[in-house]
Chains A and B, each alone.
Chain A
């Protein structure tokens, strides 16, 4: 039997040459993948048997027996690994939210400055972008943590903000909010938001039927301020503060007690992430605004809209469609970049779980998998949301 006839037989099995070329690569790929996974799993099994490690998630219930420096929820060394994971996750989300908030504001300002007609402003914005974009994030992080924040004064000479907050090399201490009847306050905010939604609906109806415009911005602002304020007066809500106080811990060591401590690690990480990601967001914003053709602005002007109306009704809707997808991508990048916390000992999920917990339990496969899975889920959720949003607002074409 020669090779040629064998090939012919196989092709006739597939009933045509086309099908052959369609199915064969797939079968080969599938076999390859199965083989590789099988090979890895087998090796892993053998290795683990040899070292007497078993595979499983039960370790999550065991006592963690290590402390975490900064936590948003109650945690002590006697809590389980699962709780440690939760603490790490919350810390990651915290620094990501802070970073996203500041990066967005800074990015929008710089992006718009880039487009300014003022030469100096646009140049300064350009230099900012070129500077912070071309230096690795880790390096920027190290600079802020090891160089800049280390230059802050000792607690005994801390920078004083109106005697309620103190900035020192040990951290930024702010007053702790102590609420009574917080739930009442919380519900009042929700109620205000609902009321504002109704105001907007009413204003829209008014405009559609009579053409007049209700000053909905001022009314909303009023509601947002007055209603929560009322809860203080008649709702039994009260707020007291625990201020940080400089105490002498030992002969030469002073620090602040009480209040909330924002550790330098968190400050450095948030700072580095914001400044770095802002450069990319600035470019997204700039691309979005430039992406709206000049003719749109002219057409809107030619029918008599004011510059404010042009921006709000014509430019921004189109610009936002261009800006939002890549910006959301940057938010995702920022969240992933927050994992750099491991390099400066900020207790995020990587340091706490894939670092300390893994060192203690030796369960590399489970822990690294869980960590990667956490980030993957976040990415996928945001991707799905992005796709849905894009489909919804897509500008319809033929």
Chain B
């Protein structure tokens, strides 16, 4: 049986009075690719941000790679080094060049010598096909190039899990493809991925399982083919009809 790399049990989260996650139960196996979709405000971003503890859950249990996330977790940075994240707004560091963006964490967190970190960074940049932009600064790149750089930056820490929070939502249409291609390559390479997105084409091509969320709850969870062929809940059917 493939080992469970992420386990979420009865996870609940509130923002003040507003409950944003309701009784979330989710298990992710190693090398699995999961797509999370749903209307805005459904809590999908919050869900994956709980996995690397950018948000804290109030109730329930989250276990990542065998370590339970809780208030007393001292080595939260260690967990974050194993979980990579790509943001909707890229969030590259504007005052550093692309290659420095990628090498920063390996140098300061993993204490790798600079030359070695730079070499690995250049390799990652080559994989996402922006090697020629390596010495430039984020402000000089297009949106698609910046997002690919962000993916390379996360990959430089050699994570076991990659989280994607609507990675293409802030991009112009002609740049979405280049980023999705990079993600598809990553998937084919065997990375465990959880992707929050509206790109259903990507889901059909790469995802093992699709999750539909609405109002903080997981409404439907099914293997990809079944999800698109036989959506069970009415809400799922409504959502699919709106975006397909």
**Chain B 71-103 per-residue mask, 1 if CB under 8 angstroms from chain A, else 0:** 000000110110111010101111100000000
**Chain B 30-64 per-residue mask, 1 if CB under 8 angstroms from chain A, else 0:** 00000000000000000000001010000000000
Q: Which B residues are CB-close (under 8 A) to A216?
A: none
Q: Is the CB of A398 within 8 A of B109?
A: no
Determine if B137 is an interface residue (Cβ-Cβ < 8 Å): yes
Which of the candidate stretches B6-14, B110-118, B175-183, B208-216 sits at the interface with the other chain? B110-118
- The CA-CA distance from A110 to B105 in the complex, in Å, is 31
Q: Is the CB of A395 within 8 A of B139?
A: yes
Q: Is the CB of A302 within 8 A of B78?
A: no
Determine if B125 is an interface residue (Cβ-Cβ < 8 Å): no
Name the residue in A299, A300, A302 with the highest tally of chain B Cβ atoms < 10 Å from its Cβ. Answer: A302
Name the residue in A293, A299, A321, A395 with the highest tally of chain B Cβ atoms < 10 Å from its Cβ. Answer: A299
- The CA-CA distance from A307 to B93 in the complex, in Å, is 16
- The CA-CA distance from A212 to B111 in the complex, in Å, is 6
Q: Which B residues are CB-close (under 8 A) to A398?
A: 139-140
Q: Is the CB of A209 within 8 A of B115?
A: yes
Q: Is the CB of B52 within 8 A of A305?
A: no
**Chain B 98-134 per-residue mask, 1 if CB under 8 angstroms from chain A, else 0:** 0000001101111111111100000000000000000
- Give the residue of B54, B111, B116 whose beta carbon is less than 8 angstroms from that of A302: B54
Which of the candidate stretches A176-184, A311-319, A340-348, A374-382 sits at the interface with the other chain? A311-319
- Give the residue of B78, B89, B94, B114 whose beta carbon is less than 8 angstroms from that of A395: B94
- The CA-CA distance from A252 to B99 in the complex, in Å, is 76
Q: Which residue of B lies closest to A320 (CB)?
A: B95
Q: Is the CB of A302 within 8 A of B89?
A: no
Q: Is the CB of B154 within 8 A of A397?
A: no
Given A210-B113, A317-B95, A395-B137, check contact A304 B77 (CB 8 Å). yes
Q: Is the CB of B91 within 8 A of A296?
A: yes
- Give the residue of A208, A293, A302, A314 whose beta carbon is less than 8 angstroms from that of B114: A208
Q: Is the CB of B89 within 8 A of A305?
A: no
Determine if A233 is an interface residue (Cβ-Cβ < 8 Å): no
Given A303-B81, A304-B105, check contact A295 B87 (CB 8 Å). yes
Determine if A207 is an interface residue (Cβ-Cβ < 8 Å): yes
How many Cβ-Cβ contacts under 8 Å join chain A to chain B? 92
Q: Which residue of A lies closest to B105 (CB)?
A: A303
- Give the residue of A208, A298, A313 whose beta carbon is less than 8 angstroms from that of B108: A313
Q: Which residue of B lies closest to A309 (CB)?
A: B108
Determine if A306 is an interface residue (Cβ-Cβ < 8 Å): yes
Determine if B194 is an interface residue (Cβ-Cβ < 8 Å): no
Q: Is the CB of A304 within 8 A of B80?
A: yes
Q: Is the CB of B139 within 8 A of A211?
A: no
**Chain B 156-175 per-residue mask, 1 if CB under 8 angstroms from chain A, else 0:** 01000000000000000000
Q: Is the CB of A303 within 8 A of B87?
A: no
Q: Is the CB of B115 within 8 A of A208?
A: yes
- The CA-CA distance from A176 to B108 in the complex, in Å, is 47
Q: Which residue of A lies closest to B92 (CB)?
A: A299
Given A209-B115, A210-B113, A313-B104, check contact A301 B91 (CB 8 Å). no
Name the residue in A303, A305, A306 with the highest tally of chain B Cβ atoms < 10 Å from its Cβ. Answer: A303
Q: Which A residues are CB-close (under 8 A) to B84?
A: 302-303
Interface size band for B? 35 or more
Determine if A156 is an interface residue (Cβ-Cβ < 8 Å): no
- Give the residue of A209, A298, A309, A313 whose beta carbon is less than 8 angstroms from that of B54: A298
Determine if A391 is an interface residue (Cβ-Cβ < 8 Å): no
Q: How many residues of A contact B (CB 8 A)?
A: 29
Q: Which residue of B lies closest to A397 (CB)?
A: B139
Q: Which B residues are CB-close (under 8 A) to A303?
A: 80-81, 84, 104-105, 109, 153-154, 157
Q: Which A residues are CB-close (under 8 A) to B111?
A: 211-213
- The CA-CA distance from A306 to B80 in the complex, in Å, is 10
- The CA-CA distance from A356 to B74 in the complex, in Å, is 67
Q: Is the CB of A296 within 8 A of B139?
A: no
- The CA-CA distance from A213 to B95 in the complex, in Å, is 23
Q: Is the CB of A306 within 8 A of B112?
A: no
Q: Is the CB of A397 within 8 A of B140?
A: yes
Q: Is the CB of A298 within 8 A of B105?
A: no
Q: Which A residues are CB-close (under 8 A) to B116?
A: 211
Name the residue in A211, A212, A396, A398 with the highest tally of chain B Cβ atoms < 10 Å from its Cβ. Answer: A211
- The CA-CA distance from A129 to B31 in the complex, in Å, is 55
- The CA-CA distance from A398 to B142 in the complex, in Å, is 9
Q: Which B residues are CB-close (under 8 A) to A396?
A: 137, 139-140
- Give the residue of B81, B93, B117 whose beta carbon is less than 8 angstroms from that of A304: B81
Q: Which residue of A lies closest to B153 (CB)?
A: A303
Least distance between A342 CB and chain B CB atoms (Å): 44
- The CA-CA distance from A306 to B78 in the complex, in Å, is 10
**Chain A 379-398 per-residue mask, 1 if CB under 8 angstroms from chain B, else 0:** 00000000000000001111
- The CA-CA distance from A301 to B85 in the complex, in Å, is 10
Q: Which A residues are CB-close (under 8 A) to B91?
A: 293, 295-296, 298-299
- The CA-CA distance from A295 to B92 in the complex, in Å, is 9
Q: Which residue of A lies closest to B79 (CB)?
A: A304
Interface residues, chain B, with chain A CB atoms under 8 Å away? 52, 54, 77-78, 80-81, 83-85, 87, 89, 91-95, 104-105, 107-117, 137, 139-140, 150, 153-154, 157
Q: Which 5 A-B pairs have the closest CB atoms?
A: A304-B81, A397-B139, A299-B91, A208-B114, A303-B105
Q: List 8 A-B contacts (CB under 8 A).
A: A211-B117, A299-B93, A301-B80, A303-B104, A303-B157, A306-B109, A309-B109, A395-B94
Given A211-B116, A302-B52: 16 more A-B contacts, CB < 8 Å: A207-B114, A211-B110, A295-B89, A296-B93, A298-B91, A299-B92, A303-B80, A303-B81, A303-B154, A304-B78, A305-B104, A309-B109, A313-B108, A395-B95, A396-B137, A397-B140
